[in-house]
Amino acid sequence: MEELIDQFLNFLSVERGLAANTISSYRIDLIKFTVFLEKNHIASMGSVRKNHLIKYLMLLKDKRLSTNSISRNLASIKTFYKFLVNEKHVKENVAGILESPRLWKKLPNTLSVEEVDRLLSAPDRRSWMGIRDRASLELLYATGMRVSELINLKVNDLNMDVGFIKCVGKGSKERIIPIGKRAKDAVKKYLDKSRGRLVKAKYQDGALFLTRLGRRMSRQNFWKMIKSYARRAKIKKEFSPHVLRHSFASHLLERGADLRIIQEMLGHSDISTTQIYTHIDKERLKSIHHKYHPRG
């Protein structure tokens, strides 16, 4: 089984060009699955039946894995079986008929527009670092980028004249995202007033957002920064940097944006991932009805 997994992971790397972290996740998921098969005396992938897969998913549920984690494990197994069938290692894709747990059952946290305004207004716009922080927060909300994408931006990825930014996402896929006037103005102010003071000759790699030492910001740097501003903005909800990404998508959908456009800006390869935000919108409508309808 390990040899087949190695062939599959090599296929993902060479043929599909997936990122190392994604391939590592596939490896972990599939090794856990093969350990389960060995414990149940199933000697080959061709011997696996639907009831074995259901038993495995129930085992993951009993271990209190989140719905998202169980779905990801099943997705790894499904993709693996597609490969095995295409390469004629097995005759039947027994995983293909299984439905993934519905990811939208646990809806992601989002901020209201007023909460976003408070968060983005929290940095001190008179200080170098406050100007940097305001620019990074404005850009994160304006584009819906992941934090990993934001901190890897380079100055050359910006096109301030046209108002677009080039972003490299999962699987090294490149996408172009428009930025609004407020984010554009905040980034321009950062470039004009702060970044030049932060640049250090020995660390110059073109990174857009820099630390006090002139290095590229890390995920940990950004996490601490945004959490401190969330406290300052008195945001009571469970909060993480990803909440701004969810808020970006939810606010666009509320205002009538097409789901396919949101999918493209978020960099989702499958629209089913983006569809979670339609459920957020339905929940919002239900809450409004409940609050304002006389018989709600």
Which residues does the annotation mark as catalytic? Answer: 146, 170, 242, 245, 268, 277
Q: Each residue of 251-288: b (16+ CB within 10 Å) or e?
A: bbbeeeeeeeebbebbbbeeeeebebbeebeeeeeeee
Residue 132's Cβ-count burial label (10 Å; 0-12, 13-18, 19+) is buried
Cβ neighbours for 246, distance < 8 A, ≥ 6 positions apart: 108, 109, 110, 277, 280
Which H or E element spans position 168? Answer: strand 164-168
Q: Among residues 291, 237, 256, 288, which one has the least CA distance to residue 107? A: 237
Question: Hey, what amino acid is at 132?
Answer: R
- d(CA 2, CA 31) in angstroms, rounded, equals 8
* Rounded to 5°, angle at Cα 20 from 216 and 60: 115
Residue 252 near residue 115 (C-beta atoms within 8 A): no
Radius of gyration (Cα) for the chain, nearest Å? 23
* Rounded to 5°, angle at Cα 97 from 13 and 31: 40
**Cα diameter, the chain:** 67
- d(CA 168, CA 111) in angstroms, rounded, equals 25
- d(CA 8, CA 270) in angstroms, rounded, equals 21
Residue 3's Cβ-count burial label (10 Å; 0-12, 13-18, 19+) is exposed
